[in-house]
Every structure is written in C-alpha cells, then in structure tokens.
Structure 1
Amino acid sequence: MRRSLIISTALAAALALTACETTGSTGSSMEDMALPGGIKLVEKVTKKGDEVVIPYSKYVLPNGLTVILHEDDSDPLVHVDVTYHVGSGREEIGKSGFAHFFEHMMFQGSENVGDEEHFKIVSESGGTLNGTTNTDRTNYFETVPSNQLEKMIWLEADRMGFLLPAVTQEKFEVQRETVKNERGQNYDNRPYGLIREKVAEAMYPEGHPYSWLTIGYIEDLNRADLDDLKRFFLRWYGPNNAVLTIGGDLDKMQTLEWVNKYFGSIPAGPEVADPVPTEVTLDADRYISYEDNVSLPLVWMTFPTVHVYHPDEAPLDVLYSIMGDGRTSLLYKNMVKDGYAVQASASHGCSELHCQFTMFALPNPASGKSLTDLEQIMRDSLKEFEERGVLDDDLERVKAGIRASNIFGLESVRGKVSQLAAFATFADTPNYIQKEIDRYDAVTKEDVMRVYEKYIKDKSAVILSVVPKGQPDMVAAPDNWTFPGRTIPEASDDDSALALRIPADDFDRSMQPAASGENPVVTLPTLWRDELSNGVEVLGAINDETPTTAISLRIEVSQRDEPLEKLGLAEITAAMLNEATQESTNEELSNRLAKLGSSVSVSAGSRYTTITVRSLTENLDETLAIARERLLEPAFNEDDFQRVKGQTIEGIKQSKTQASATASQVFTQLMYGNDNAFAWRDAGRVDTVETITLDDVKAFYDTYYKSGAGSIIAVSDLPEKKMMASLAAFSPWSGDAMPQKELAPFPAIDASKLYLIDKPGAAQSEIRIGKRALPFDATGTYYKATLMNYALGGAFNSRINLNLREDKGYTYGARSFFSGSDQYGEYRAQAGVRKDATAASIVEFFSEIGSYQEDGISEDELAFTKQAIGQSEARDYETPFQKLGFLSQILTYDLPDDFVDEQQDILRNLTKENVDMLAAELLDGDMALVVVGDKEAIWDELEALGREIVELDENGMPK
C-alpha cells in the first residue's frame, strides 16, 4: 500500500505471525558471554504470542558494525545484505550521482578479489547478487546455497575494507561510461523517463539533496575525478555506517566467528549522524513542461507532504488509496471509467527526508479531453473526496492489504532480511513491523480528513505536463516556473580525507574461503495430481511455510489462435475478463478482493490465457468465488469493451515509442514472418484492433474458453483433499478444446541485410542479432544449448557482457540467450548501446559469437558453468511462485517429476567437446541484424559495415 524507501508497493515485509520477546545485552546469557572479538549482543527477539515479528538477534562489533542474524532452515539458502546509510541524499551540489556511481565501483574488485571477479565468484557459488541505490541508502546483497556463507562474508568485508587499493583510473572511466549508458537507457531514452527529475528540480530548493535524481546529472559525472570517488567512499563506507544482515539456514555462532574474522579489523569511519528532515513548501503552483518521444501527453500533480515515519504518513497513504489506487478510487471513477483517461492513479512516495503526494493521468484521445481538462478533474475529485469523506471500506482495504502483504513477505528469506535491514537503518530497530501495522490500524476517518486539510486542500503543487515532441501547446497551462540552474561551488584542494584506513589482520585475506561442506541437498516439491469432476487436470504441491495459496488456471488459447485481421483479440478477450461480470461491477470485484488482501488477474500469453490467483489461505474460497465469476460469467459490457479497446490502442502506440520494444518486435517478425499471429505484439496492431468488435470477443470466448483446454496448478499449505474441495468452484466449467491452429511457414533469414528503424534523437541504439533455433526441450539439445551459451552471453561475467559493458563501456548490459516454445525457438543477442558505439558494438557481438563458435569454451569457463548452474538449484523452489513455475514446466511439456535430476546428470557429464560441438552447430549460419536508433547519427558507421541497409517502419514494414 505505501510507497516508501522502506516499504515497497506490497510493503515487502517478511514476517513471522508471532509475538516478540526482547532480551537485551545486560542479561547473563551464555551466548552473550561467548561471543568472539568483543561482539556484543544488543537484543534477541523471539517468538511468543500473536504479534507479528521476524525473529532475530542483533549484535554490534567494536568498530560500530551492526549485525543482525535471522535463522530460517526451511530452504538450504542464506541471504546476505550489507546496507550503508548513504544514498544520493548525502551528496553535495555539483557531485550528484556519486552514491550510485560507487555502487558500480563496488563490483569492480578489491585488494583480494580480482577485476570482474565478484560476479564470477557469486555465480560460481550458485548464487545471485545485486546492489541498489536510492536517495537514502545503498545496499549490496547475495542469495547463495548455505554452504557458501563464509565466502560471501569474505567478499563483502573485502570491498568494505580493501576496495580503494584496487580502484584504478581505467575502472573509473569504464564505470562512468556504464552509468551514462544506464541513464540513457532508463531515463533519457525512455518515454516519460525524466518526469521525476523535472518534478524534483521544481519541488525542492537549490542544494536540497532530493533536488536531483539518484542517477545524477551527466555534467556532474563528467566533472568527477578519481579522488572525488575516494573521498566519498572514505566518508560514508565505514562499518559504523553499515548494517550487515544475514538470514537463512545458518549456524549463529559460526556465522559470528566469520563476521568477526573478516569485518572485525576494519577501522571505523568518520562519525555519521542521521539526516534531519526539513519542511518543504511551495509559495504557489509551479507549472512546468517538457517535450518527449511519447504518443500521449501526461499531466502530473505533486504536493509536498511529510517524511517517512511521520505520524501523518499513514493517513496520507489512506488518502492516496481513496484518490487513485485501483478501481475503487475516485480518479478511476472520474477519469478512466468515464473514458476521459486511459490511465489515472495516485501515490504517496516517502523517503527519509520528504514525501510527495502525486496524482497523474494520460488522456484518452477519443474523449477530446486536454491536459487542462484532466487537471481540473483531479482538482474536482479532491473536492468530491472532501464532500464524500472516508468510508469504512476505505480503511478496511488498506488494513487488509497490509496484513496480507506482511504474510506474503514470509515467502522468501530475502524479503525477511531486506526488511530487517531497512528497519534497522531507518527505524532504529529491526523489530518495527508490528508498530508498522499498528500505526495503520490506528488510522481513523478523522485522521484522513485532517491530513487532507493540512497538506492538500488549497495547497500549492508542482504540475508537470509531458507532451509529444513538436506539440508544446498541449500543456495543461503555460510554464510559470523555470529551473534556475545550480550554483556549483569551487572544488576543494583538501586531500586530508583521502587517508586510507588500513585493517591489521593475523591471517591471509587473499585466500578465498572454500565452501563449508558439500552442496546442500535440495528437496524438490512433493507433487500430487488430480482432476476436477469436469476432467480439468490439477497438478499441486504443498508449501507449508506460509498460510498462503498461489494458483494458475491455464487455458490453452492464445495469440496464435487469432485471425491475422484481428490481431490483439486474445489479449482484449482476456482483459474483458478483468472487467464486470454478470453479477458484479469491476469496482465491486476490486473492492471485494482488496478487503480480502487477494488478487485475481487474467492475461493472455504466447500459448496460454492464465488466471493467476494469490490469496491468504483463510480467504481462498472467497477469492476463488471471484475467479470463478470472472471466468464463467463475464458481462462483456459495451462500455467496458470500448474502454479496454481504447487503452489497448494507446498502449500499442506508446510501445512504438520504446526503442527496445520496437527492436524486439521487428526481430520476432523477421524470425517467424508476418503470417503468424504470434510474431506480432500480443496487443496487435492499431489497424487490426480498430476492427475488433464486442461480438468478436464474445465469439472468441465462446469458441476457446473451454474446460477441455484448461488445467490448474496450485501451491498451498492446504493438503490435496482440501485444495480439491476449494477448486470445485470450477467444476461447472465445460466444453471441448478446439484444435490448435497450424503455423505458417517461417521466412528465410537474409544475413546480407541490416534492418534499421529510425528513432530521431535517440540517446542509445537497440541491437538485436540472431536466428531461429530449437523449440523447448527440458532435457534435450535445447537444454544443452542453454548450458553452452552461459559463458558466451548468459552470465553477468559472460564474454559478451564483459566485452561490451566492462571492457568497452558501450552498454549498461549485453547478453545472449536461447528461448523456445513447444513448436519454435530462437537464439538472440541484444543490448542497448551508446549511440556513438552502435557499429562498434555490432562488430564486437559478431566477433564474440564467431570466436566462440569457432574455438569453443575454455576449461575455466566450462568449470564455471558447471559450478554456477549446478549449485544454483538451491534457489529454484523457495517461494510459491517459483514452485508454480516448476509445476508449469512439468504440465506444459509432460515432463517427469524428477526431470531436474536428468538435467543435473547432463550438466555433471558436460565436456568441452560437447560444448564446442554445440557451439559449432548452433551458432553457425545466417543471423538477422536489427538496429533501432537515430538514423542521422549512425547511418555512416552502419554503412561502413558493408551490409545492405533496409529501412523499416515501427510495424516492421518496408518504408
């Protein structure tokens, strides 16, 4: 429900439904007295009663490092998180982006970890890893099999205490280019990507640390030098400004010994005080605008409010829910339902220093409404709220959503660890979750009205208009505020902060720890099979770690069943099942689901239309009653249809403004031809969707939505008998499946051509290279091909990514992969690259693929592949949705329950000769080449590649 730095959209809380008993370090427990290296036990929170808590023990090292341990032996995994209390909010004016830049630098090796080795070590350990930066914190995390824990502690300690000796100018320059590529890909080159930057500039006074984005300004990145980065690290990356949180299948005392060994000698950094929130006010409405590569304009209205954990944050969250959260909201009723907007929503984003209450909308062109009209509807909706007041359902929805999301958060050890780390960093205690729930439970109707009066009613806001390029007259109102720029202070010559803090050890840190024991034994989910009285096959598994249920009801009908002249019909039909039923309006259904804390959604894919259900088990029968109602009793109202159709058309237009989506779409058409419906966008084309009628939807539903084409996958804490009793809700469903439509012949691939789609002014170019390959086969050549590709383009430290990202700085990320369905498949290599490196990137792609095809894999790469994939199985079946994916493969491809054992045998016995033969065979032959980018800027270098350039439009048609 909340949108904050600590709680995600789903409140991402990972909890145990128990009460807590807290003991402090003043007790005389044996655990406290036996701790190594002067570590002190601060508190121990255990299970007791009915309150909500994640059990943990909290410790502090003499150097100030906070350590939190959570034991969970449900899966043979551990999750390690190091959260530093530093984000872009600690940066100085003119030095934006440093916190995020340093996140990148922390993966470039340290004194005892070689260049580009961090990803390799974690991957080879069977783990996954990443790092993230926001305004207020930077965190680094790994999930690995439990026998790899010591190695992860060693890795994190080495980059905390020994990073700077390994930092070089070359690494600095490459990562500077990588960050620029990331900004280009995620901000400058993305439709609406600069909204938050423009709003931040207008919302905050000059110098406020939230007045720039975490990614920073390009000019600041260009101005930075190596010493700037070193100063930033030495100021903020001390152990006394960090929280180390570890959860999973661990031995607490052994873990503390490792923590003391590797972290204990790292000297504390400078003292760090928590930042102090300051009030942000606006003296008048600030209207701003910018032109963008978008198909629809947008109006965005933002009010300054409070800060995270402020007493008024929770009632403001309830207010935003009433205004713009889903189909029960006023903005949905007054804008989307009435056809004035294709999308309208509200949010209340909260961070450590400040929160923003936001409403936004994109107009429906068919309505004739302008941004000025939408702004007025927003303001009228606020007045309507004032007259309507707060309903009992409003509070019930928010509170039910919080409770449900808390329980869903129990499903992964990563969720629990992340929550403990966040609360420890920002709430001064990891044991905050019950207080979090309590403060929302305590919200009253009067509270919500009070915060509306205090922060929103008659208050000034930033009103941003984003308009298509060349159409400045579409703004909601003329700009009355202009960003004045920034006054950049003169650089300081003081180098006193550059003194290194060097740990003193009595052991050799350069020795990488070995795994502590054999790889953990992974227990595959125990499966059961049954069928409903109507013959619908059911495949289930018991997951008794949480009182939750996840269900996937699949109907074998999809885009490939559409007639070519009605492309988009499958997706629109599925979307109509998310609308009203014969018994209920969509608003009533949405309200019922929200009060259950459940979700039921219908979507169409490349092979199946799927109804996905997520529910607390105690609410399962009520949730399935809604799912049954959606499936069997759709109303197919004309008003709903016209709205869905309009939204689909606008979504297609918007997708054409996205270079990445366009590149992938045109590539797919080249692979499978325009005569196969599945080769087009799932949503279809504008011209085909315009021809679809409500009668077409009804006929498609009547023809294909049959029980004979259905199957159900269920993962729950319920035993089979009780689950089947609940699934009996679908027993009235009937009908025989329709025969599957034949595929049209696939076209020949012409490798002599380069297909170019022009995106004038694009900051990056999107590249797609590939060929048709194998259909999916879990234990055949397809599976072996994925193993073969891992070292080439599948891993982060693959040849392709290391070349284009880490060595050249051309891209934020490059990869290659095999993908396949039951009847077809492909091999693809792709990246979004710097505009001025388009041709060079293409050359490097083909060079890497060609040399791998010719020379094959190295022995080191083979060993890495076998280690990384072989040990990663421990991460594959942790959550209910991971188990759903496992069951889905079994049911879709009629696999034996133990097919993964055969995969492990294949991997174990894989040889260099096997891989080399596959590379020689599967990477040979003609490959298509698609580029989406700024023709004017890249034409000459593309022409120099020697291929015939064929220009296509955004539909993949010749110009």
Structure 2
Amino acid sequence: MFQRHLLAGVAACALTAGLFAAAPVLATEAAPAAAGQAVAPTTNLLPHETYQLANGLTVIFNIDRSDPVVAVALTAHVGSARETPGRTGFAHMFEHLFFLDSENLGPGGLDRMSARIGGSGANGFTSNDITVYLQTVPNDALEKMIWAEADKLGYFINTVTDAVLTKEKEVVKNEKRQSVDNRPYGQTGPVIAEALYPADHPYSWSVIGSMADLNAATLDDVKDFYRRWYTPDNASLIISGDFDPAQARVWIEKYFGEIARGPGVPTETPRPSGLTRTKRLMHEDNFAQLPELTLTWPGVERNNPDAAALDVLTAVLTDGKEAPLNEVLIDEQKLTSAVGAGSDNSLLAGEVSISVRAFDGVDLDRVQAALDEGFKRFEAEGVSPEVLTRIKTSAEAGFYGAIESVLGKTQTLAFYDRAGGSIDTDLARLRAVTAEDVMRVYRTYIAGKPHIATSFVPKGKTELALEGSTVAHVVEEPIVQGAEPAVDQRAGDKPYERTASSFDRTVEPPAGPAPVVATPTIWTAALPDGLKVSGIVNAELPLATFQLSIEGGRLFDDPKKPGAAALLARIFDRGTATRTPAELENAFKALGASVSVSAGDERFVISGRTLDRNLAPTLALVEEMLLHPRWDAAELELARAATISDIQDARSQPGAIAGRVFDLVEYGPDHILGGGALGTEASVAALTMDDLKAFQANALVPGLAHFRIVAPSDQAAVTAAMASLGRNWAPRPATVPTWPAPTAPAGSRLYFYDVPDAKQSVIIFGNPALRRTDPDFYAATVMNYRLGGGGFASRLTQQLREGQGYTYGVRSGFSGDERFGDFTLSSSVRSNVTLEASTLARDILRDYGGTFTAEDLDVTRSAMSKSRARSFETAGAKLGVLANIGELGLPADYLAREAAVIDGMTVDQIKALADRYIDTDAMIYVVVGDAATQAERLKALGYGDPVMMNEAVAAADR
C-alpha cells in the first residue's frame, strides 16, 4: 500500500495486514466456537451509523466528543485489483492526481485550504482493494471538507491535462524508486506477487505498477478509469469526531447529492492463487548487505472462516521468546536476530509469509533447514492454552491503540465498509479460535504445501541463495541523463471547463464556531528517591501509556568503546534476576502490556503501554527490569550479534548512510555523537557485561529520571503504583558528561558517499542550530512552516515535487533537545537530476527570507494556530507536553506562550529569523548516490570538488 505522506514510502496498514492486528479481545472469555461457525457480535467497539444517498454514496458517522476535531475519509472501492495487465498502477496514479486540483477549489486548492484551516494535510493510500483519501481538521472546518471531497468526486476530471499527467508520472516514478528500486529488499514484494499468482490474476502485479505501464498511460486512459470507478455508488464518505450528524447530513446532501450514479460495479469473487508447485527464486540485491529468505504460501481471502486461525498461527510461530521458530533460529542456531511472519487476507486471496534476514555470510540453506526444524517442533508441541490467552490479550491492547485517534477510526470504518463484516464479528471469530484450529490451518495451508521461496543476497554472493533457485525477474531502471521529459510548472494553472451544478460551487463554505481547545490538566509529584512524576488523566480508552526517561543516553558512552547505551537497552528487557527472558516476556503479555527500551542521543527511555486495569502489575515488572537485571551472558551474546547485524544492515540503507555522514561531518570523529548510534562492530564486540553494569550503575539513577503517564488512572492511583520504585531505587549522584556543541562550518562544502547504480540520491543539507530550550526555537519553527515544515503548503514541496517532479517528498525543519540542535533539509531525488534538485533546494533556502510575504504569514499563522485543535488528541502528543515541561524545563504555560508567538509574528521577524538561522554559505551538504554519474556534475553547485566520504565513514566505523 502506498501513501502520500512525504518520504513515507511503502506503509503497512495494520487493518489490512490481517485480522489479528485489528481485532481486540475482551477480558471475559466466551465458550469457543468451531472455526467457520457463525459467531454473533458480542459488543460494540466502534459505534457508528450508516446510510445511503439516492445516488448510492454510502455515508458512515462515528461520534467522538473527546477533542474538537473531525477526520474525513473519502473511500473509492477501487484498488490495483480493478486494473488489467498492461494498464497497471492506475489506481495508485489516480490517488496522486486526485490530490492536485479540482474545478472549484482551483489548482492545489485542497492543500492550500488544508493549511488555512489547520488540517493535518490531505493524505491517502492505495491497496489491492481500496483507495482512501483522508484528513483530520478542526471541527469548525467540516463543511469545508465535505465541499472539497465532493468537488474531487464529481468536479475534478476536467483539471487533468497532458501536462498534469506528465508531471505526476514523474512523482509516482520517484515514489517507486524510493520505495522499491533504491532500497534493500525492495523488490521482494513484486517478485513474490509475480510468482505466486498467474499473470492474469489482479494480485500478480504491485499496487504501484510498472514503469512501462506508467509511461504508457494516456489522458484518455485516466479519464476512462475515473468515469468507470469514481462514482458515488462505488464510494463511501466516513466522518469521525466531534460534530452534529444532523447538520452533516444536510451538507452531504447539498454537496454530494447531485453527483450522478455510475454504470454499476461488478461483484468480485474470491480467486485463490492456484499455486501447484514450490518455486525458488533469487536476486542479487544492489543494496542488501545481509541475505534474506522469505517463504510465502497461498492463504485465504479476507472473509474466509480460516482467516482468524491463520493470523493466530503466525503469532504462535514467531511471537515471543518461546515461539518455536525463534527458539531454533535465534537462540539455538544463532542465524538471525528476528523471525517475521504475517497473514495478509485481501478480498480475493491471501498470503502467509515468514521472513528471515540472516546474519552476515549465513547460507540461506541453513536458514531453510532451521525453519524446517522449527516446524517439526511446533508439530510435536502444539499450542498451549497459555499461549493462546497471551496472544488474545495482546490483541486487545493493540486494537485500542489502532482506534486512538479519529483518523484511526475512519480508516477502520473504511476498511470494514469495503471488506464487509465488522470489528465485533472479527473479535468474536478471533476469540473462538482454538488450539485445534491453529494446528488444522497449519496442516491445511503450510505443512508440505507449495510456496514461493525468495533469496535476496548481496551482490556477488549468489552462493548464499537457496540451492535450486532461479534468477528472479526484476526490472532495474538505468540511469540516463535527461531521460525524462521536461515538466511544465504552470500546468495546473491552465483554464478548464467546469462541470455544471445547481449552485455556485466556487464559493467556499464559511467556518463554523471556533473550536474550544482545552489544554490538558497536568499533575506532578516527586517520589522519595527523587524520581519526578507527571501525568494527564485521559479516559478515552482503557489504556495507560507511559515513559520512564533517564537523562544522559549515549552521552554516557565511552568514546573509546561506544555502544554501551544501545547494547544495554537491547538486553534490558531480557529477563530479571528472578525471571527468565521468556518468563518476563510472558508476564507482560499476560497483562496486555508492551514495553520497549531505547537509548537516544540524550536519554535512555523505557516506554510502555498496558491495559489501565493492569497498570500496577505492569509497573512492578518495569521495576524488576530496572533494579534487578538478569545480566544473562547468553542474552548478551544474542544482543551483540543482533547489534552487529544492524550496523551492517544500516550500510545498505541510503537514508541511514546520509544521516551517518552528516553526523560525522557535523560533530567530528572524536565526538560521541559523531559516531554511529549503535557503536562500531569492533566496539560492540569488545563490550563486556561489566561495561554494561557500570553504565547501569552510573547512568540510570532516579535523580536524572522522569516518569510520565497518560491514562484513565488518576494521580493517586499512579503514585500508589509507583510507590515501590520510589522506595527501592536508591539515589546515587550522577552528572551527565559534557560534550561540546558543534559550530557551523566557516564555509559550505559538499560531501558525497558513493552507492553505485543508485536510482535516487539522498540529500541532507543543514547545520548546527537551535536547541529546544533556546528562546527562538519555536519562533524558528513557525518561520520554517512555509519553507519546508508545512507539507504540501511548503515551498520546497511545491517546487521540487509539484513543480518539477524531482522527488516524492522533501522537508526541512529544526530538531533540538536539551543540549544539541540542527536545521536540516532532506529528500530523495531522481538520480539524474541530483544537481538540478540540489541547486533548486539550496536556492529556495537562500532566498526564503527575502521573498517571504504577508500572504505567507497569513497562511502560516492560520495553519499553526488552527492546528492546535489537533495538538493533544493522542496519548503520544500528551506525553510530549509532559516531556517538554518536566524534562526540558519549559514553563508550565509554554503552550500559551507559543500561541502568542504565532499571533504576534510579523513578516520582518520571519525574515530576520531566516537570515539568522539559515545560511546556505555555512552549511553541510551531503549527497548519497551514484558517484560515477553524479559526483562530477555536483561541482556546478559551487562548493568545489565533492569530498568523497566512503573511506572516512569506514575509518570512523572501525
């Protein structure tokens, strides 16, 4: 599935990835039902009403009064499965075109309006079966959004010209390069689809389609696709949030009611893949550093009675320390650090996949043999009742997280509207799955059944592929300078005929009453050991979301042996003094809790989410982890191998490489932040258990810690649950090591990292800048909105993507913590326009302050002030408020002060901020791409010969 988000690439939707990811489980168990037996819904987890207009448009309302916002989703019941061979990629191409113009909003009208009304930015995704367009806005803008969505559905196609189509083809092709061609293992999905299904099956091609088909698409093809599929009777409008449904009905009838019904839509019937023999395919991946084996079996379609049991099966095989495949491949044979599995149930057919990215140099025949051994163990041991219970409890918490926001609710309702059924029915089916069902579907669909086995191996290492593999069919685009046609930047400004309507649709509806934004009420406390605690009571969902953040993080690393912080984070949840790794993991899952540990540049963080009713026992387990680690030598070796593998794998990721080069240049090789976040292969190999114990003793102390929580539980309940940690975490003196802040370079230089045959170039331009605590930080963020922080309202996006078709996405912004900060511009651009895109991006930065206008300020002020209605909707956003106040020391009223900054900003202040903090002549320019075709050209940027960085990075990483 592809999304419009800038730099998003391929995004997986939990709802379409399988029933298990979507459905919650109630705490009370019902009597099990046989697989396939009709099960009545048992609850109403997402209340909604549905009705239809006379023209067939389906309308779905969900009321959520928790925040003054609404999410609006327009769903077209068309995905890549409606296409035909030779005309693939149309559904996804249409998603792109649909965002550009409409007859009555004008060129780019939706994006411009989104900025003015404080929307989240129009976004969307296309899958095999559905295309969804969605956005969250303050609730005073609901009528405007209904007007805009109707204009797209019924008053759009005349705006699409040959010039518009030509430009958007380039954007889509950039998306494909970024998501598929220019990333390790990116071709895996297309290879599997082509092998799994016959050529005329609509799932045999990828959603994004082929470059050849995109190039061949004509304007008539696009218009025919629109008239065939974009009709009210093949669409749905879903609204979730705080709104008046009676008034919304009136608006929907006004704006959508006169759009004509379509010719009718044929009924789709399930069509299995029909695979009759196992196929082994291999590909030498230009980017991969590690070998990867993926096994894919034909599964079942979305509404098949076996879908739930297959979802549970994949979790039983790979979810957890005691899962049979994990036991064999990770703990015993040490071939990998992770085994992934999933069941994807689409409308016509389904797939079950298991994927293993092996350690460096591991022959994939060994991986296959280990998988076979794991399957035998599973066949012998079966499924225990305890495992089933843990899986179902985890599913409950996971589902609530998926519908935390109104946007999540609209996506969920859109999915079920297309797929049929309901959350409640899926819940009942999942609850009914038995151990016998799991074993039955394993024997029916997996054990000894034909499948696709893909071996993706690094260049020159074909010996690592499965024996008997044939070379996969992969089309790789050559880099040819000047191959693409020129793009007409003014294509969308040409006049066009308007479709007739009974009223003047060019008049934008008025805004409703201004939303009342309630700033969250924050409570604070301090425990006896000095641990600071803060919280926000939030009873929207029965979930508690928390973070224990400890100041320091990587800054405590020894620069001569870096990586201790990251390695400690990796083993911290691997058991306690009294619990084995499996026992600790199972204890968390039994509570519906998930906990993760990370080491950032300035903080060591334990993050978690649990059912609120289980908060106290969850925090008791966190206390065990923190105060009584297991210090398991075997787990340390597993973590060490996994970390080294991740370091190696990062060398295959162009985006990661660009960030690595930027940090090295910005901080220098002797600064702790100038190295890789995980350390080096040598330093990780050298770290001992004593090193990790010393880090824990010196860096993880209560005086540097802050616990923050968003939950239904109030201050009294939370502090009671924290009381034991407050008594038992012994205070110790600790000072965070001081490292110098980098300074801007005296002059700009260009740094180039060579990735031969790269289809895109990754660029990062920037310099050291403001910390989050600096007085100008928020003002500079306001300044950057129109430059590169405002999504499709930003100049960078409008010129590099919408104007020239150079990129799929580009952004700029200030990122800062307590001690360090940066300003960066980042993008992935078509390889053969690396110079042109870099020059244009640099010039936009350079000229921004001098060209900023009063209109720019109006858009900025409107967007940033109105968007505050969305600022506190999710638990993550509320945790961010707590962190800014509790950790960074921002004043308790900082939100009000920031609102005042927006209101008081002037054009002259914006210009002054741009002149002060954006200096293109004192900037680090990093490019990761194909040196043979692009390095020499970049001399024309004006910063001398590119400094080649491959050897410098290799030396720093030794």
TM-score normalised per structure 2: 0.92
Match of 1:11 among 5, 21, 30: 21
SS of aligned partner of 2:347: coil
Partner of 1:119: 111
Partner of 1:675: 670
1:617–1:716 CA contact under 8 A, matched in 2: yes
1:311 and 2:305 correspond: yes
Letter of the structure 2 residue corresponding to residue 298 of structure 1: E
Higher mean alpha-carbon deviation, 740-749 vs 313-322, is at 740-749
CA distance in 2, matches of 1:260, 1:188: 45
Partner of 2:880: 885
1:948 and 2:945 correspond: yes
Match of 2:64 among 63, 72, 92: 72
1:199–1:462 CA contact under 8 A, matched in 2: yes
Equivalent runs, 1:560-639 vs 2, <5 Å: 560-639=555-634
Per-residue deviation at 1:888? 0.8
Per-residue deviation at 1:506? 2.5
1:440 and 2:422 correspond: no
1:734 and 2:730 correspond: yes
CA distance in 1, matches of 2:369, 2:848: 60
SS of aligned partner of 1:893: coil
Equivalent runs, 1:423-438 vs 2, <5 Å: 423-427=416-420, 432-438=422-428
1:552–1:611 CA contact under 8 A, matched in 2: yes
CA distance in 2, matches of 1:4, 1:746: 41
Letter of the structure 2 residue corresponding to residue 776 of structure 1: R
SS of aligned partner of 1:269: coil
Equivalent runs, 1:173-572 vs 2, <5 Å: 173-292=166-285, 293-338=287-332, 339-365=334-360, 369-427=362-420, 432-480=422-470, 483=473, 504-518=500-514, 520-572=515-567
2:41–2:424 CA contact under 8 A, matched in 1: no
Partner of 1:827: 823
2:20–2:312 CA contact under 8 A, matched in 1: no
Equivalent runs, 1:712-727 vs 2, <5 Å: 712-727=707-722
Partner of 1:762: 758
Per-residue deviation at 1:401? 2.3
Letter of the structure 2 residue corresponding to residue 936 of structure 1: A
Per-residue deviation at 1:505? 2.9
CA distance in 2, matches of 1:93, 1:896: 60
Partner of 1:161: 154
2:292–2:364 CA contact under 8 A, matched in 1: yes
Per-residue deviation at 1:821? 1.8
Equivalent runs, 1:687-726 vs 2, <5 Å: 687-726=682-721
- 1:654-674 deviation per Cα after TM superposition (whole angstroms, max 9, x unaligned): 111111111122112222222
Match of 1:657 among 652, 657, 662: 652
SS of aligned partner of 1:908: helix
Change (3 A) 1:468 1:821: same
Letter of the structure 1 residue corresponding to residue 440 of structure 2: R
1:539–1:714 CA contact under 8 A, matched in 2: yes
% identical equivalent positions: 36
- 1:734-789 deviation per Cα after TM superposition (whole angstroms, max 9, x unaligned): 132411212136366253531111000110001111122221137x2111111111
Letter of the structure 1 residue corresponding to residue 356 of structure 2: A
SS of aligned partner of 2:642: helix
Change (3 A) 1:933 1:409: closer
Match of 1:802 among 798, 802, 809: 798
SS of aligned partner of 2:678: coil
Partner of 1:21: none
Per-residue deviation at 1:49? 12
Letter of the structure 2 residue corresponding to residue 317 of structure 1: D
SS of aligned partner of 1:757: strand
RMSD: 2.3
CA distance in 1, matches of 2:794, 2:764: 17
Match of 1:744 among 733, 740, 744: 740
1:559–1:677 CA contact under 8 A, matched in 2: yes
Gaps of 5+ in 1: 19-47, 486-499
Change (3 A) 1:954 1:918: same
1:613–1:627 CA contact under 8 A, matched in 2: no
TM-score normalised per structure 1: 0.91
Per-residue deviation at 1:624? 1.4
Change (3 A) 1:13 1:313: closer
Letter of the structure 2 residue corresponding to residue 275 of structure 1: E
Change (3 A) 1:369 1:185: closer
Per-residue deviation at 1:955? 5.5
Letter of the structure 2 residue corresponding to residue 330 of structure 1: P
CA distance in 2, matches of 1:552, 1:297: 35
1:63–1:240 CA contact under 8 A, matched in 2: yes
Per-residue deviation at 1:10? 7.4
1:536–1:710 CA contact under 8 A, matched in 2: yes
Letter of the structure 2 residue corresponding to residue 847 of structure 1: D
1:267–1:502 CA contact under 8 A, matched in 2: no
Letter of the structure 1 residue corresponding to residue 326 of structure 2: Y
SS of aligned partner of 1:767: strand
Relative contact order, higher structure (CA 8 A, sep 6+): 2
Letter of the structure 2 residue corresponding to residue 295 of structure 1: Q
Partner of 1:151: 144
CA distance in 1, matches of 2:310, 2:248: 41
Change (3 A) 1:4 1:753: closer
CA distance in 2, matches of 1:954, 1:139: 45
Letter of the structure 1 residue corresponding to residue 624 of structure 2: E
2:403–2:412 CA contact under 8 A, matched in 1: no
Partner of 2:813: 817
Change (3 A) 1:863 1:539: same
- 1:216-274 deviation per Cα after TM superposition (whole angstroms, max 9, x unaligned): 11111111111111111111110111111111111111101110111001111121133
SS of aligned partner of 2:86: coil
Per-residue deviation at 1:538? 0.5
CA distance in 1, matches of 2:393, 2:63: 28
SS of aligned partner of 2:716: helix
- 1:490-513 deviation per Cα after TM superposition (whole angstroms, max 9, x unaligned): xxxxxxxxxx99965322100111
Change (3 A) 1:929 1:396: same
Higher mean alpha-carbon deviation, 351-360 vs 237-246, is at 351-360
Per-residue deviation at 1:878? 1.1
1:13–1:416 CA contact under 8 A, matched in 2: no
Per-residue deviation at 1:404? 2.3
- 1:539-579 deviation per Cα after TM superposition (whole angstroms, max 9, x unaligned): 11110222221111111131122111122111111111021
1:17–1:52 CA contact under 8 A, matched in 2: no
Partner of 1:44: none
1:759–1:932 CA contact under 8 A, matched in 2: yes
Per-residue deviation at 1:9? 8.4
Per-residue deviation at 1:300? 0.8
Per-residue deviation at 1:690? 2.3
Higher mean alpha-carbon deviation, 223-232 vs 866-875, is at 223-232
SS of aligned partner of 2:644: helix
Partner of 2:100: 108
